[in-house]
């Protein structure tokens, strides 16, 4: 690799996902965890996924980027928090109910498919945990930053470190549970499994990206803001 490629390979996958939005699709397709393990270098992630670093870089560079992509690390913190809160609302009101209905209908139509019933049970528990997680983030984390009302000028009400650690642990759990459901779906030998797998994969992509924005952009910036304000007080 030339010097430029070597430097690129040493960037974290979280940073690459933010600066090159098309990398999100590349990472998801390659099974690279850019959300909960966003600090790993692209070189290390490539090896773990069975790629050469230069090969993974080429995939990122060759993949078309979305026209409406936003480099969130360059946007105001309160704008990012509002976006995440709106995404929470859409997840709770639309995305989760739609996927739950698909799973439950499939289970009713195919009572003989044990793994579909298992997926429904797992998703029911996951959706309840995710919904509660989002409520706590909106109420406790976002409000403690005062980001919804111009947080860049607000003063956090409490230390964020412990709260953020809890969020990170829960995010990792959600990712693993989604992986388990997709794996169960692959064991089902029925046409309905294809639709379920596609729906679960799309849901996973959405969740992975949301967690990436929180883990790799919102939380570090929020903690840095808190530290600045405390030093100034």
How large a percentage of the chain has pLDDT more than 90? 71
Residue 128 scores a pLDDT above 70? yes
Taking the model in full, what pTM does it have?
0.89
For 100-112, how does the pLDDT look when each residue is reduced to its tens digit (9 = 90+)? 999 999 999 999 9
Q: How far apart are CA 65 and CA 46, in angstroms?
A: 20
pLDDT tens digits for 146-186?
Answer: 543 444 444 444 567 777 888 999 999 999 999 999 999 99
Nearest-CA neighbor of 61 among 102, 144, 4? 4
Q: Are 214 and 167 in contact (CB under 8 A)?
A: yes
213-230: average pLDDT: 86
Mean pLDDT, rounded, of the chain: 89
Mutual angle of helices 219-232 and 161-186, in 10-degree steps: 180
SS3 148: helix
Q: What are the tokens at 31?
A: 């099974």
Confidence of residue 232 (pLDDT cuts 50, 70, 90): confident
Q: Which residues, 6 or more positions from 206, have their beta carbon under 8 angstroms from its beta carbon?
A: 91, 95
Q: What per-residue confidence (pLDDT) applies to 222?
A: 84
| Residues with Cβ within 8 Å of residue 124, at least 6 apart in sequence | 100
pLDDT tops 70 at residue 144: no
Mean of pLDDT values over 126-148: 81
User: Which one is predicted more confidently, 144 or 200?
Assistant: 200
């Amino acid at each position: 690799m030339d010097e430029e490629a070597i430097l690129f390979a040493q960037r974290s996958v979280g940073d690459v996902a933010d600066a090159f939005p098309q990398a999100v699709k590349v990472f998801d397709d390659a099974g690279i965890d850019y959300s909960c393990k966003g600090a790993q270098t692209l070189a290390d992630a490539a090896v773990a996924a069975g790629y050469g670093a230069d090969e993974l870089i080429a995939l990122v560079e060759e993949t078309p980027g979305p026209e409406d992509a936003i480099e969130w690390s360059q946007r105001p913190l309160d704008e990012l928090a509002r976006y995440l809160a709106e995404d929470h609302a859409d997840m709770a009101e639309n995305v989760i109910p739609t996927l739950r209905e698909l799973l439950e209908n499939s289970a009713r139509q195919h009572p003989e498919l044990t793994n579909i019933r298992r997926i429904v049970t797992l998703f029911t528990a996951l959706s309840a945990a995710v919904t509660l997680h989002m409520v706590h983030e909106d109420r406790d984390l976002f409000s403690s930053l005062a980001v919804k009302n111009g947080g860049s000028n607000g003063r956090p009400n409490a230390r964020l470190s412990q709260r953020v650690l809890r969020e990170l642990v829960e995010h990792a759990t959600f990712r693993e549970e989604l992986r388990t459901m997709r794996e169960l779906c692959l064991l089902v030998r029925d046409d309905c499994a294809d639709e379920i797998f596609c729906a679960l994969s799309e849901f996973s992509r959405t969740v992975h990206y949301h967690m990436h924005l929180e883990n790799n952009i919102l939380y570090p910036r929020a903690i840095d803001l808190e530290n600045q304000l405390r030093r100034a007080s």
